Amino acid sequence: GSDMGAEKFMHIKAATSQKSPDCVVMNVTVRSMKLHGGAFGERGGIRPSKE
């Protein structure tokens, strides 16, 4: 997913510019954390609650 794309981008960008990033900002929603994290027991095909 996006983690491999970001890693590839950072490696190419850092090698080209000869600078490494000091930080990375990730923007996520609670809904995506529930769906992709697996800690909340959401199942595929079931619409998550709107919290």
pLDDT tens by residue, 1-51? 566 777 888 888 888 888 888 888 888 888 787 777 776 665 666 776 776
Give the per-residue pLDDT at 3: 66
Written as six digits, the tokens of 47 are: 């619409």
Give the per-residue pLDDT at 38: 72
Give the per-residue pLDDT at 41: 62
pTM surpassing 0.75?
no
Asked whether residue 46 is domain-assigned, the answer is: no
Give the per-residue pLDDT at 44: 61
Asked whether residue 23 is domain-assigned, the answer is: yes
Asked whether residue 45 is domain-assigned, the answer is: no
Q: Select from 9, 8, 6 the least CA-distant residue to 27.
A: 6
Asked whether residue 29 is domain-assigned, the answer is: yes
Give the per-residue pLDDT at 40: 63
Q: For the chain, how many structural domains are there in total?
A: 1
In contact, 48 and 35? CB cutoff 8 Å: yes
Asked whether residue 49 is domain-assigned, the answer is: no
Asked whether residue 44 is domain-assigned, the answer is: no
